[in-house]
Chain A
Amino acid sequence: MSYGLNETSPLFRAHNTATQTGVGLNALFNINQSEGCEIDSNEVVVQNDRVFVYGELKATNITLLSFDIEFSSNDSNNSQGWQVANNLNLWHMIGDDGIYAVATSNTGIAMRQKSTASGASSAEETRIFGVRTL
């Protein structure tokens, strides 16, 4: 792990503080608070770093039983995760609750909605944690 001269830690984090409703396909989940990184248009911005990032999302009122999320970055490295809703039918189990990715330099990292029909869903909390590993 390491950090740059203009940084104070290899660790960074970001999250959203308000419930986001009506998250549509390919839309970015909001993030509005951060420590150790900058936020630009719902993207975590880390410059001149190689980073490992981990994210989680808590969502409600999911119209599909699955809820797919993706880390996307402007270096074209994408990593997908998958969350499965709790529901009354009981046969669905949680498959992959988190999302992981490795991204490289000058990266803007965002969590993107990848389900096909969850426009009525609400993202209660979006979390992104990262470490600089270069």
Chain B
Amino acid sequence: MSYLRIPVPLTMIEVSLSSAATVSTGSMVPFDTVRATGSHGVTVNSSTGEVTLDTSKQYYIQASVDVSRSSTTTGFRFAWVDSTGTEIGVASGGYDAQWDYNNNSTATYTAVYQSTTPVSPIRLKVDSISASSTLNLATKLFILEVTA
């Protein structure tokens, strides 16, 4: 027995920081560098960290966060926001990265935005962290761009 499949083009994209950044609650992650396996529709604004997507395509975006907290007795939370600064919630495909200090808890270390009808642009917001923490170079976005 066989069945028909529709193949789709896929591009893998990495978005990163060129230097470590000092961040506090309310900061936006200042992404500024893009590299990819082929042509794609992703651009970043190196001044704001804003990531522009091609809204005709579909995306899986995974943000891995590496942060050195200025206080070891605090947690952190990163979340996706749209162009107005409004958080993109799980119903729209936005999943946060969160770790609670001193709560016997596990974390969600990756913030994911997955959507077949993406909004653009998006930013990764530092929703909570101890003031003047350091966002390290290992903080990256891994993006699958699908032309479906």
Which residues of A are interface residues toward B (Cβ below 8 A)?
1-5, 8-11, 13, 15, 17, 33, 35-36, 48, 54, 56-62, 67, 83-88, 94, 97-98, 124-125, 127, 129, 131, 134
Given contacts A33-B90, A48-B3, contact A85 B109 (CB under 8 A): no
Q: Are A60's CB and B90's CB within 8 A?
A: no
B114 CB within 8 Å of chain A: yes
B100 CB within 8 Å of chain A: yes
Q: B107 CB to closest chain A CB, in angstroms?
A: 6
The contact of B3 among A4, A36, A67, A85, by CB within 8 Å, is A4
The answer for the CA separation of A10 and B57 in the assembled complex, in Å, is 12
Chain B interface residue number, banded: 20 to 34
The answer for the CA separation of A87 and B104 in the assembled complex, in Å, is 5
Q: Which residues of A contact B60 (CB under 8 A)?
A: 11, 129, 131
Given A97-B108, A125-B95, 14 more pairs with CB closer than 8 A = A3-B5, A11-B114, A13-B114, A36-B116, A57-B106, A58-B107, A60-B104, A62-B104, A62-B106, A83-B106, A86-B105, A94-B106, A94-B107, A124-B105
The contact of B103 among A3, A33, A60, A129, by CB within 8 Å, is A60
Q: B1-29 CB contact bits vs A (8 Å, 1 = yes)?
A: 00111111010000000000000000000
Interface of A is mostly: strand
Q: Are A60's CB and B10's CB within 8 A?
A: no
Q: Which residues of B contact A11 (CB under 8 A)?
A: 58, 60, 114, 116, 144, 146
Q: Across chains A and B, which 9 residue pairs bring their CB atoms closest together, nearest first?
A: A83-B106, A60-B105, A2-B5, A9-B116, A2-B7, A97-B109, A58-B108, A59-B106, A62-B104
Q: B73-100 CB contact bits vs A (8 Å, 1 = yes)?
A: 0000000000000000011010100111
The answer for the CA separation of A111 and B114 in the assembled complex, in Å, is 19
Q: Are B112's CB and A84's CB within 8 A?
A: no
B148 CB within 8 Å of chain A: yes
The answer for the CA separation of A94 and B62 in the assembled complex, in Å, is 19
Q: Are A88's CB and B5's CB within 8 A?
A: no
B102 CB within 8 Å of chain A: yes
Q: Which residues of A contact B103 (CB under 8 A)?
A: 60-61, 86
Q: Are B99's CB and A86's CB within 8 A?
A: yes
The contact of B146 among A1, A58, A125, by CB within 8 Å, is A1
